Structure 1
C-alpha cells in the first residue's frame, strides 16, 4: 500500500483531476512571482524570452484562469520594462502564412 504522500505525488505527476491541474498551476506560478519581484531575476540573467516563458508557463492556464491572467500581466509588465526580451525574429519558428492571410 502506498503512503498518502506517495499517492499525492502520483496524482500530481500522472493524474487527471482538477486538483492536479491546480497544484501544477501553483507550482509553475512560484517562479513567476519570484522573478517578477526581482525585476526579471534569473529569466533576465539567462536571457529567457517572453515566448519561451509563455510555453513553459502555459500549464497555469488549465489550473487557474485567474492565475493565468495574473501571469500574463506580470510577463507583459516585465517585457515592457525591459526586464525580459522578446525572441529575436531570426529564432522564431517560420510559418508559411503572411500576417494578411491569418
Structure 2
C-alpha cells in the first residue's frame, strides 16, 4: 500500500508540534505564565466558534477556524513578533512567507496549496472571514491583559494610544465586539492598569 500522502501529513503534524514551544509575550488569564502559540491558536478557534454570531456578516466558520489554527504556524521559523514591538513590524514579512512555503510545503500538494491560500487570506485581511479571524486575534490578548491588571502593557510600557490603535481593527470583524473591547480599554485607563 502507498503511504506517500500519509507520510507527508504525519511529517507536517510532527513539525507543527513545535508551535507549543513558541512563547508569546502575553500571559494566560490570571496567571504569570506566558501563553504559547498553540494555546493561543486553540483559544482563538474556540472563541470564533462561540462568538461567530457577533460577526458583522455571516462568515464561513470552518474557514475562520482554519485561519485561526494555522495563522501563527509560520512563527515556528520566523518567531513571534510582539504586536507592540517598536523595532520589527508585526505585519507579514518575507521571512514568514518563506516559513509558510516550507512548513505547509511538507503536506501533499493539494493540502499545501489550500493552507497557504488560507494563511495568505488571513494576512491580507480583505475577506469577511479574515476580518473576523483578526478580531479574535486582537481580542484575546486584550482579555488577557485586563485579567492580569495590565499584564504586558505595564511590563513593556504600552500606552492607551497604542492599544486603542491596534485593537480598533476588531470593528472590521465585529462592531459589537469592538464596542465591548473599547469599553474594556477605557475601563483599564480608569482602573489605572493602562496609561493615557
The answer to whether the superposition gives a TM-score over 0.5 is: yes
Range with greater deviation from structure 2 (34-43 or 10-19): 10-19
Please give the per-residue CA displacement for 1:43-80, whole angstroms capped at 9, x wherever unaligned: 01222111111111111111111111111111111100
Q: TM-score, normalised by structure 1?
A: 0.77
Q: Does 1:3 align with 2:113?
A: yes
Q: CA deviation at 1:30?
A: 1.3
Corresponding residue for residue 139 of structure 2 = 29
CA contact (8 A) 1:47 1:84 kept: no
Corresponding residue for residue 54 of structure 1 = 164
Q: CA deviation at 1:32?
A: 0.4
Q: Does 1:41 align with 2:157?
A: no
Q: Matches of 1:39 and 1:70 in 2, distance apart? A: 18
Task: Name segments (4+ residues, structure 1) moved above 3 Å.
Answer: none
Two-structure CA RMSD over aligned residues (Å):
1.3
Corresponding residue for residue 73 of structure 1 = 183
Instruction: Name whichever structure is richer in strand by fraction.
Output: 2
Q: What residue ranges of structure 2 are gaps of 5+ in the alignment?
A: 1-109
Q: Matches of 1:31 and 1:55 in 2, distance apart? A: 14
- Partner of 1:54, secondary structure, is helix
Q: TM-score, normalised by structure 2?
A: 0.42
Q: Matches of 2:155 and 2:148 in 1, distance apart? A: 11
Q: Does 1:18 align with 2:18?
A: no
Higher relative contact order (CA 8 A, sep 6+): 1
Q: What residue ranges of structure 1 are gaps of 5+ in the alignment?
A: 87-102
